[in-house]
């Protein structure tokens, strides 16, 4: 077994002991062994070897409450700065961020901080809560959850490169109760134990959105809070858009409900206290190509003559945040 991955997973297992999440240990160790033995593609071990080359540093401080900032430029010399930058660039494309590591600014495709700023005023205080982030990407929001006082933060995402990016950041701030598990939501046993579950930017990727919402519900304890962010369209409770093969050039997009339709879905599944926190049209400032993600981005996915439409002629991406409670 890859030693580094073993260490990451064992640290996650240990963190579960004595918490309401302890019964996750019934399935998780076996799933991680399976991941280790067959789930990987060729690049995984190469990425792990590169991670091992990241130098040990002593950050002068961290800030996870207003940004994800670890250390300052003056903590390292210019050779180390070049070494870290070169290694981190091997893990491109960096989509979710931004991060600042010893003054190295990883300017990601998405300004994920914009989303966090829209969400955080509307949610229950995360202080002392156990939190799950479903579809966490590189983990940007997980660090912000930690910065808001969460007792433990768990992120699941099946994309291996995102786990590597997460571990690259955690390398510089290892002593934090924040863990990435390479799982899809459909692999999760019902834990019925998290105080807060976030799922941002995932629902539209799921072929069966009702099963997905039910899976999210069964990660929450009774009285726990769901924060759901997804693409929506204008319309009444009977409006749901199923695009053709592509939506804004993305292939795996299935259902874009209206806010009212989504609210009805949550009601039918037994969620209560459902509220709309925010609706926002994604701007070209929030999603764009950068030095750390050099391929096409939102600008290329919109109709150049009418930015209110995608290149396929659908309404341009508009995202809603809904908050709901498990009864």
Ligand X SMILES: Nc1ncnc2c1ncn2[C@@H]1O[C@H](C[S@+](CC[C@H]([NH3+])C(=O)[O-])CC(=O)[O-])[C@@H](O)[C@H]1O
- Residues that constitute the known binding site for carboxy-S-adenosyl-L-methionine: 96, 110, 115, 135, 157-159, 185-186, 200, 204, 319
Residue with tokens 């509307």: 122
* Nearest CB to ligand X, comparing residues 173 and 202: 202
Q: How far is the CB of 184 from ligand X (least distance, A)?
A: 3
Compare residues 166 and 172 and give the one whose CB is closer to ligand X.
Answer: 166
User: CB count, 10 Å around CB of 325?
Assistant: 17
Name which of 88 and 203 has its Cβ closer to ligand X. 203
Nearer CB in complex with ligand X: 60/283: 283
In contact, 2 and 45? CB cutoff 8 Å:
yes
The β-bridge relationship of strands 220-231 and 194-200 is: parallel
Q: Output the smallest distance, CB 123 to ligand X, in A.
A: 14
User: Which CB atom, from 103 or from 158, has the smaller least distance to ligand X?
Assistant: 158
Strands (E), the chain: 62-63, 69-70, 96-97, 99-101, 104-106, 110-111, 130-134, 152-156, 178-181, 194-200, 220-231, 240-241, 256-257, 271-281, 302-303, 306-310, 318-326
User: In whole angstroms, how close is the CB of 177 to ligand X at the nearest point?
Assistant: 19
- 181 with 12: CB under 8 angstroms? yes
Q: How far is the CB of 166 from ligand X (least distance, A)?
A: 11
Least Å from the CB of residue 204 to ligand X: 7
Instruction: Report the distance separating Cα 31 and Cα 28, nearest Å.
Output: 5
Nearer Cβ to ligand X (96/129):
96
Is the dihedral angle over the CA atoms 32, 116, 280, 312 positive or is it negative? Answer: negative
Task: Compute the distance between CA of residue 242 and CA of residue 82 in angstroms, rounded to an integer.
Answer: 46
Question: How far apart are CB 270 and ligand X at their closest, in Å?
Answer: 22
Residue closer to ligand X (CB basis): 96 or 102: 96
Identify which of 47, 67, 44, 41 has the alpha carbon closest to the alpha carbon of residue 171. Answer: 47
- C-alpha distances out from residue 120 to 30, 226, 278, Å: 35, 13, 11
Rounded to the nearest whole angstrom, what is the least distance from the CB of residue 197 to ligand X in the complex? 12
Applying CB under 6 A, the residues found at the interface with ligand X are: 96, 110, 112, 115, 134-137, 156-159, 162, 184-186, 200-202, 205
Kindly give the residue spans of alpha helices, DSSP state H, lying in the chain.
Answer: 3-16, 28-38, 43-52, 78-89, 112-119, 140-147, 160-171, 209-217, 259-268, 298-301
Q: What residue numbers does the annotated binding site cover?
A: 96, 110, 115, 135, 157-159, 185-186, 200, 204, 319
């Amino acid at each position: 077994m890859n030693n580094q991955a073993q260490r990451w997973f064992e640290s996650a297992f240990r963190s579960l002991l004595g918490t309401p999440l302890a019964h996750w240990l019934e399935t998780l160790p076996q799933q991680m062994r399976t991941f280790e033995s067959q789930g990987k593609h060729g690049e995984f071990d190469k990425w792990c070897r590169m991670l091992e080359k990241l130098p040990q540093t002593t950050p002068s401080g961290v800030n996870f409450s207003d940004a994800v900032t670890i250390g300052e430029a003056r903590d390292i010399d210019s050779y180390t700065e070049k070494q870290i930058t070169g290694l981190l660039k091997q893990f491109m494309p960096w989509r979710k961020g931004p991060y600042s590591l010893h003054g190295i600014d990883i300017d990601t495709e998405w300004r994920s901080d914009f989303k966090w700023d829209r969400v955080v005023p509307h949610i229950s205080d995360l202080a002392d809560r156990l939190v799950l982030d479903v579809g966490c990407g590189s983990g940007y929001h997980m660090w912000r959850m930690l910065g808001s006082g969460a007792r433990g933060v768990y992120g699941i995402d099946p994309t291996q490169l995102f786990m590597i990016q997460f571990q690259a950041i955690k390398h510089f701030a290892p002593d934090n109760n924040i863990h990435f598990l390479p799982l899809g939501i459909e692999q999760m046993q019902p834990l019925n134990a998290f105080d807060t579950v976030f799922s941002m930017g995932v629902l539209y990727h799921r072929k069966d959105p009702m099963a997905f919402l039910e899976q999210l519900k069964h990660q929450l304890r009774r009285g726990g809070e769901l924060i759901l962010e997804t693409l929506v369209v204008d319309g009444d409770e009977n409006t749901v858009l199923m695009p053709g093969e592509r939506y804004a050039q993305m292939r795996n997009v299935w259902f874009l409900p209206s806010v009212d339709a989504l609210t009805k879905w949550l009601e039918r599944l037994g969620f209560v206290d459902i509220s709309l926190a925010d609706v926002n049209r994604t701007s070209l400032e929030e999603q764009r190509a950068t030095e750390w993600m050099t391929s096409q981005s939102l600008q290329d996915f919109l109709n150049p003559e009418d930015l209110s439409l995608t290149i396929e002629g659908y309404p341009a991406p508009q995202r809603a945040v809904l908050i709901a409670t498990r009864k």
